[in-house]
Structure 1
Amino acid sequence: MTAIGICAAVTSYVLVRSEASTFLDNQLRQIALYVGDAPSPPASGPDSGVPHDPEDDFVIQVWDAAGRPLRQSHPAVGLPRQSATGFADISTDDSDWRVYTLAAPDRTVQVSQDTRVRQELAANAALQAALPIMILIPLSLLTLGWIIDRIMARLNRLAAAVASRDVAADDPVPTDDVPAEIIPFVSSINLLLTRLRALLERQRRFVSDAAHELRTPLSALQIQIDNLRHDDRDGRFSGRLAELEAGIDRAGSLVGKLLRLARYDAHEPAPTPQPIDLVQLAIDTIARLTPLAESRGIDLGITRQDTAVVIGSLADFEIMLGNLVENAVRYTPSGGTIDVAVTASGQEARIEIRDTGPGIAQEDMPYVFERFFRARPQDSEGSGLGLAIAQAAAESQGAQLTLAMREDGPGLLAALIVQAVSTNAEQ
């Protein structure tokens, strides 16, 4: 803004100096013409070649003591002689004049100027003074806009950096390219993130420690049940012992899931990545869960086997696919079907699980990956952790997990999407 102001001042000075120089040059010319008592110069005199505006000429009138005219620079302009020394405003038929009269004992000198010359001079001076300001305003807006864009670009980069941060990121928000006015705000955010990380760490430790502490009494209860079954030779308590053992198994499964979630939350280093054949993974998962499906009267099988090989942790992929298929088996009613398909398209591979169960209500879809959330019916089996664990495993492997209602009939369509290193679609 200082540079723009200096430029405007210099421009105004140059314009006004040019106008004043022209006006004062004309005054010098006229003083030279009319100085002394010589008669008025003719129009074709030595001054006729000097460029000037005739309207800027003064009207010079000189009278002697008897009132006889001695000089008339413009005889066509008949301005009356004023009797007293001083300034006066005189109007004629075609214009107005500003007159100065010098009344001496031996003569009277009267110099007049057309007021339009004064108005024109004032208007030009005002325009030339306003012109730099008129240029300054849009130039200032452009400069200010450019400065704001630069500042906002830095803020946008900061916003993008914050928005793109991973949920588990521990490092503070960088302040290298942040405007100085925003640094206290960013520092406050970093302080809040530090407290939030500490809180989440305490929560993870609590879940992990609680799960570890629960394993010991559950193992002890299992041992006691085995001892009671051994002592119950006539089988009087076999039914109750079976129910108690099933409850302990469910509690043990829940503890195992909590430990698995705690490991994902702690971002423990994943095992060394290895090639995984998705078709073989699907076949092994189906084979492992076939007894459970048959006990429920459910037809579980694989319908498509496109060749697809991915790189990742086999344990995580087993958890993902196992939880999805097991979830379908538990919610599909007796007599239903569950179809598993491995499809490949380009470098993308998909494992789809289609069941004929009740599906998930649309209003429950946003919450299905939350921990301990159980979609309707609420009395169904499960702890509400299976899908949360599958989602955590998918995030750790860079895979995408989606759930949607089937369009070709009742049931749910679960899809695991991953980038493959080798694919071959069935013809």
Structure 2
Amino acid sequence: MKLQRSVTLSLMAWAFGALLSVWGGFLVLGYQTGVHEADELTDGHLASVALLQLAQNPSPSAVRGGVASLPGLSSLESHDYRQSMSVVVWNAAGAELLRTGEAPAVPFSQGEGFETLLLGAPPVAWRAFSQWDGPAREKKVTVLLGISERDDLARDIAEQLAEPGFWLLPAAVLALGLAIHRGLRPLYALARDVDALDIHQPSPLHAPYPQQEFRAVVNSINTLAARYQAAVSRERELASELAHELRTPLASLTLQAHALRQAAPGEAHEQLLVQLERDALRAGEVLSNLLALARASRTELAEAMQQLDLDAIARAEVAEFGQAALDSGHELGLLSPGPFLMQGHPVLLGLVLRNLIENALSHTPAGTSVEVQLDPQARWLQVSDTAARSTAPPDPAPSGVQRHHSLGLGAGHRVVEKIAAIHGARFEQAAAPAGFTQCYRVVFADARAV
């Protein structure tokens, strides 16, 4: 089972990981600093003891034993910072004047300062500090401390410095987790409100969201809900209109078929066949428009716009309808100054031109000139024709013939309107240019203004 990812858990994981990294770095650095400072402290003690010893004037008696047997010092043996230092004092000739502590015999040398000596058998490391009493070099003092004891003290001090960090981490994790959870409460509220939205009747989100990031999300959701509702309303309205328009020719087909069965052979019989053919073509046209609308909706959701040349699309569509225009007795042409570059869906723009050209050829008499016109500067395409507009009433139908009045250009133009809206354009009936009587235009937004 695949676990769902959580923003809270992801944020906590990243925050805790960052905290752990920083905490670990500070812990290591603090431990190393503690060890270094403890070593410096020990060296300072060695130097201090040497200077104190130089300030004394010891008797020339030889070696003195350890200080552990001295009265009053037994209570210091358990002290954390007690150090067993050894002191050796020589005269200028290298003879020992004093030696105390647990250190083995130390070879005499003329050098002074800090050094690490290997003494005894087997050899053991000792930290030593040597100092002469001055330019006269009459007395030399060396103070020694076992390296193991020095390291134990450094480790103890470093651990004492680092120990609070182990207690601090759980407290910091708990406090950080509570803070993240509290800070994300508006996000939880927004998620609940979005989850409660009715997809069929989405209402805007009205809850207060003071955070700037959430206000942007809320505004986007409200805008999307409004657009979705408007799109659903348009689709329902369009589907209702097209369904009505489809029922009309289907009902007419039924009536015409019934009348054709009862009509006697003759002129009325032929007229019924013509009307039957027209109704069948009309039903096919409505179905084609429904398929075009479905294709436009699918393209709008599934495909991204691309750079295209509308002039090339127009030339291809005009060439495709060339034979149909010739067969119907129309004159079909294209007027374009050249490339018309824009962002869009080539398939849908081809549907626009196809619908406009097909409507012009289908609803104008033979001998009409139909011209596709493009203007890249003004950002529009239009289809114009020279058909004369007649106001005479239609011829009466023969006896027994039920005439069907089609809605004409409505369905095809609704397809063009939808595709134009997808491209941020508007579809309108424009004033016909000189020499033409009717013009339908699609005006695209200026790319520089988008």
Query: Which TM bucket (shorter chain)?
Result: 0.3 to 0.5
TM-score, length basis structure 2: 0.37
TM-score, length basis structure 1: 0.38
